[in-house]
Amino acid sequence: MKDIRVGLLGFGTIGTGTVKVFQENARLIEDRLGARLVLAGIADLDITTDRGVTVEAGILTTRADDLLTSPDIDVIVELIGGYEPARTFVLKAIAQGKHVVTANKALLAVHGEEILAAAAAKGVEVMFEAAVGGGIPVISAIKENLCANGFQSVFGILNGTCNYILTRMTNEDAEFSAVLRDAQAKGYAEADPTFDLEGIDTAHKLAILISLCFGTRISLEQIYTEGIRSVSALDIQFAKQFGYKIKLLAIGKFDGEQIEARVHPTMIPHNYPLADVDGVFNAVRLSGDFVGPVMLSGRGAGMEATASAVMGDVMAIARNILSGARGRTPAMAYRPGTIKTLPIKPMTEIISQYFLRFSAMDKPGVMAQISGVLGRYDISIASMIQPERQEEGGAVPIVIMTHEAKEENVRTALDEIDALSVVKEKSLFIRIESEIA
């Protein structure tokens, strides 16, 4: 029986999970693959900490080069994360003729083109299922069985930290900062959670999904990205009253001409499929011209779920090696020469429904002034809540759900409304998706 030899760069959480798959499921993998997957080496700067798994001392090294230059390693698994030295190591592995599996969305979103070009030139594969949605096999679904479809949209809940915080804010009627502190204490949020909370991690993942679904190049800067720091318990409660939940949604759409690419807190009807994806779970909802809507959900992070995706990729590469397949499936779902650079629709041009919250004086005529401005900008009101006054003469929130409107009009109308003397604070809007399909 043939051996496929694998080298691991990075012995952190996912690395440890990956080692566990090698150890616990060796027999099952052999039964499915017809070959042994051999963990030939693990490189990490720290090779002394106890990770709760036992590996032969001989396979641990602090020098990545030991693995990158070893002639008998077939596949390098990069689980270091970040841009460098991950990029250098991956390029070196490719130059050495090794296939690469990575979970590194940041690397792919920023250096993907360079890395995939190097791999194509060398005739090796780069696979990255674990980079999006943890254990959910969404990338292989897009590249493999759904590949006869033209895709119209992709929606995703892709960041476990954000979804955990929003879920707790929703269930406990709690404020962002309190939940964040507790999430950090419990290990559900990093000490520096900026990448997660600002939506950057989600945007990295959306960039990959958009490229795969629509066959286009897209850079991180082209994705409109808004995080969840501005989401308040108040707006979550108003959303509930209207029958909505607030999720950090990754949204990609293609109308045949332009791409919409955006990440922002979004209200979705509470009975929509994505609305029930709570806590650290992730989900992706794709819409294809033949398959219609397809949703995949599961654990979006964590040692073991992510290791499942990593090892699925390792086995796919092993199958290609064993069956003699070369260049079987393009890394980005489309063959390199056919990938386009489709135009991105400016945010001012998007059409959406909106949740608007105003803070206005509690006196007659205020609603008439506000709705007058909205009307002049073609923004029609679907429903409204004006809670009872809380203190004599003070400011009260006025909350409005609109029908579909153009974002440019909404922004201009809100500027104009904010200039009214009866309006006390900067008005706020949250986009609504109620036609996820």
Instruction: Say how far apart CA 171 and CA 411 lie, in whole Å.
Output: 31
14 labelled as ligand-binding? yes
- Find out whether 105 is annotated in a ligand binding site: yes
When binding is defined by CB under 8 A, the residue of 97, 327, 372, 387 that contacts its own copies is 327
User: What are the residues facing 126 on neighbouring strands?
Assistant: 100
Q: Is 307 in the site for its own copies (CB under 8 A)?
A: yes
Site membership for its own copies, residue 209 (CB under 8 A): no
What amino acid occupies position 52? G
DSSP string of 189-258, one letter each residue: S-SS-HHHHTTHHHHHHHHHHHHHHH-B---GGGSEE--STT--HHHHHHHHHTTEEEEEEEEEEE-SS-
Pairing mode, if any, of strands 75-78 and 99-102?
parallel
Q: Is 15 annotated as a binding residue?
A: yes
Size, binding site for its own copies by CB under 8 A: 68
Q: For the window 272-301, what string marks contact with its own copies as x by the rule CB under 8 A?
A: -x--x-----------xxxxxxxxxxxx--
CB of 103 to its own copies, least distance (A): 13
Indicate the angle between helix axes 13-24 and 303-323, nearest 10 degrees.
60
Q: Which residue has the tokens 């900067």?
A: 426
**For its own copies, which residue of 194, 271, 380, 390 counts as binding (CB under 8 A)?**
271
Does 11 appear as a known binding residue? yes
Nearer to its own copies, 187 or 337 (CB): 337
Residue type for 23, please?
Q
Give whichever of 28 and 178 is closer to its own copies, judged by the CB atom: 28
> Cβ of 60: how many Cβ atoms within 10 Å?
17
CB of 170 to its own copies, least distance (A): 14
Active-site residue, selected from the candidate residues 92, 98, 143, 205: 205
Question: Does residue 315 touch its own copies according to CB under 8 A?
Answer: yes
Structure tokens at 4: 């496929």
Q: Does 141 bind its own copies (CB under 8 A)?
A: yes
The residue whose two tokens read 């707006």 is 235
Indicate if 205 belongs to the active site: yes
How far apart are CB 244 and its own copies at their closest, in Å? 16
CB-nearer residue toward its own copies: 141 or 179 = 141
Binds its own copies by CB under 8 A, chosen from 313, 362, 407, 433: 313
- Report if residue 123 touches its own copies, rule: CB under 8 A: no
HSE-CB of 274 using CA atoms within 13 angstroms: 31
For the bound state, the minimum distance from the C-beta of residue 35 to its own copies, rounded and expressed in Å, comes to 10
Residue 407 · residue 422 · CB < 8 Å: no
Residues 332-391 that bind its own copies (CB under 8 A): 333-335, 338
One residue of 2, 63, 181, 326 binding its own copies per CB under 8 A: 326
Helix 233-241 vs helix 160-172: crossing angle, to nearest 10: 70
Q: Write 386-394 long-range contacts (CB < 8 A, 24+).
A: 389/362, 393/361, 393/362, 393/363, 394/362
To its own copies, the closest distance from the beta carbon of 199 in angstroms equals 25
Query: In the complex with its own copies, which residue's Cβ is closer, 291 or 384?
Result: 291
Report which secondary-structure segment, H or E, holds 402.
strand 395-402
Q: Which residues are annotated as a binding site for NADPH?
A: 105
Catalytic center residues: 205
Q: Which residues make up the interface to its own copies (CB under 8 A)?
A: 17, 20-21, 24-25, 28-29, 31-34, 129, 135-137, 139-141, 144-150, 215, 271, 273, 276, 288-299, 302, 304-305, 307-309, 311-316, 319-320, 322-330, 333-335, 338
